[in-house]
Structure 1
Amino acid sequence: MAAGVSYDEASTPHGLRLYAVGDIHGRHDLLAAMHARLMEEILHDRPADWRIVYLGDYVDRGANSRGVIEYLANLRERDPRVITLAGNHDLGFLDFLSNPDPFGLFACNGGFETALSYGVEIDLTSHERMMPGHTALVRAVPRRHRAFLATLPYSVSFGDFFFCHAGIRPGVALDAQSADDLIWIRREFHAFEGLHPKLIVHGHTPVRAAELCKNRINLDTGAWHSGRLTALRMEGREKTLIEAAC
């Protein structure tokens, strides 16, 4: 692979401030606190231009997935500078609505709490027991929430930064990455020690504290159970971690 971009070298385009926010997983309280803080900074500092990139996994496990989707959908509608990427849990929720499976991602990884946030208690112990709750959940999820989930992009890039939910497959061009890798990859991506064409900013794999590696940055600090939602501010070559905690 040709020489890539390191953490220290990675820079935003001139005049553009970037923020990236890690996995939310139903923590509407932390999301609202974080977004308020970021907008306060933006209004105070008045950068020439800005983007806030949410890295996916808005649903499951935490208590208010419905509130998170509603909040982000409203933000995206009001201002295209707020970018919401797809996470595997977000697409798993959408898939469950169309193809109910009591042993799939949604059912086995926090989907019960997501359904509960829509006022539906669903029995996921068997297909037969699940179906009444599934029917109720399909009715309870607003059409605009499904449209929001169905239109989430898999990646976005600005300057020397490439943003996605999980990571990339090393050696594959950024514009040729598969959707599956962008929302699911772990082992091959984490183990790779060389530089990528751009610095990869991602979440997906929970860590105690944000990982600042020479070729990637992991912002998933397990907000749903740790009570800490982590973001990164990027401006020029300067990079600063920000935390909303409860």
Structure 2
Amino acid sequence: MALTFHSAPGRLPPGQRVYAIGDVHGCVAAHAGLLEQIAEDVAARPVEEAIVIHMGDLIDRGPDSATVLERVARGSPIGGDFINLRGNHEELCLAALTQGGEAAALWRRNGGETCLADWGVPLKAPPEEWAAYVPPEQMAVMQEERIFHRVGGYFFAHAGVRPSVPLAAQDAHDMVWIREPFLSWPSPLEAVVVHGHTPKELPEVRVHRIGIDTGAVYGGRLTAVVLEEDRLAFMQMPGPRSGR
């Protein structure tokens, strides 16, 4: 497919390209379609260095979180590993699997039931038994997620950043959970922040941020932003009609 490029608020060094994928939430077909588009784009437009970043929330709510994690564990379609960022849903899941109790109840209330079903966890299994059903490679994907990644003039974090705090001093909880005042901040930051977490109908490009959660699991689309030099383009795949 031919990409339509626009001027970007940030910049990457020549020879670098980033594909950043928004909140997947178990939308396995849309995720597979985006990976195919990315592989085709790299084949058609070779570049010195290309990376694929998942912006977090690979799991919960959608039709097949386990298969998404399994695919991510196999590595990038353009070679090497993905860069996977921690989303609030992975944070909730890991807390549930290690702490049980209220952490387990909180995760179940926020979409964790779909993951438990994907892993074949019996309905009446107590939380302390859940982790035994998670394949090790899928657990490793979640445990090894980064909180942020920075390249060129861009800073990648699942939810965003606290605008009043230098990027080097950001709090991990903010980068996984924040909405305001980040979303409505009116001014440029040290770097342009690429994020997901807050679903919108369309990708959002502002002076300080690029939001790419377009609600695939809620009947929207799964979006990837393509960043190279001083321009950007979007790739999209339709999500399922509704989450499970």
Aligned partners of 1:23 and 1:65: how far apart in 2? 12
Aligned partners of 1:240 and 1:220: how far apart in 2? 15
Classify the secondary structure of the residue corresponding to 1:110.
helix
Structure 1 residues 205 and 107 mapped into 2: Cα distance closer, same or farther (>3 Å)?
same
Unaligned runs of 5+ in 1: 1-6, 124-131
Q: Does 1:85 align with 2:105?
A: no
> C-alpha displacement at 1:225, in angstroms?
2.0
Unaligned runs of 5+ in 2: 1-6, 240-244
Supply the AA of the counterpart residue of 1:134.
P
Match of residue 3 from structure 1: none
> C-alpha displacement at 1:137, in angstroms?
2.6
Match of residue 51 from structure 1: 51
Match of residue 170 from structure 1: 163
> C-alpha displacement at 1:141, in angstroms?
0.4
Task: Check the 8 A contact 1:76/1:84 in 2, yes or no.
Answer: no
Match of residue 3 from structure 2: none
- 1:101-140 equivalences under 5 Å are 101=101, 104-122=105-123, 132-140=125-133
Supply the AA of the counterpart residue of 1:61.
R
Aligned partners of 1:135 and 1:223: how far apart in 2? 31
Aligned partners of 2:153 and 2:75: how far apart in 1? 25
Structure 1 residues 77 and 19 mapped into 2: Cα distance closer, same or farther (>3 Å)?
closer
TM-score normalised over the length of structure 2: 0.89
Aligned partners of 1:8 and 1:41: how far apart in 2? 19
- 1:18-33 equivalences under 5 Å are 18-33=18-33
> C-alpha displacement at 1:138, in angstroms?
2.0
Q: Percent identity at matched positions?
A: 31
Classify the secondary structure of the residue corresponding to 2:100.
coil
Structure 1 residues 96 and 162 mapped into 2: Cα distance closer, same or farther (>3 Å)?
same
Over 6 Å off, 4+ runs: none
> C-alpha displacement at 1:77, in angstroms?
11
Supply the AA of the counterpart residue of 1:113.
T
Aligned partners of 1:54 and 1:242: how far apart in 2? 14
Match of residue 71 from structure 2: 71
Higher relative helix content: 1
Aligned partners of 1:38 and 1:86: how far apart in 2? 22
Task: For residues 162-220 of structure 1, give each alpha carbon's deviation from its aligned partner in whole angstroms, at most 9, with x where no partner exists.
Answer: 11100001121112111101100111211211111001000001111111111101100
Aligned partners of 2:71 and 2:79: how far apart in 1? 12
Task: Check the 8 A contact 1:50/1:81 in 2, yes or no.
Answer: no
Q: Does 1:218 align with 2:219?
A: no
Aligned-CA RMSD value = 1.9
TM-score normalised over the length of structure 1: 0.88
Name the count of aligned residue pairs.
Answer: 232
Structure 1 residues 35 and 56 mapped into 2: Cα distance closer, same or farther (>3 Å)?
same
Task: Check the 8 A contact 1:60/1:106 in 2, yes or no.
Answer: no
Q: Does 1:41 align with 2:41?
A: yes
Aligned partners of 1:77 and 1:48: how far apart in 2? 16
> C-alpha displacement at 1:151, in angstroms?
1.1
Task: For residues 209-240 of structure 1, give each alpha carbon's deviation from its aligned partner in whole angstroms, at most 9, with x where no partner exists.
Answer: 11111110110011112241011111111111
Task: Check the 8 A contact 1:60/1:111 in 2, yes or no.
Answer: yes
Classify the secondary structure of the residue corresponding to 1:51.
strand
Structure 1 residues 122 and 13 mapped into 2: Cα distance closer, same or farther (>3 Å)?
farther
Match of residue 208 from structure 1: 201
The farther-off stretch of 232-241 and 104-113 is 104-113
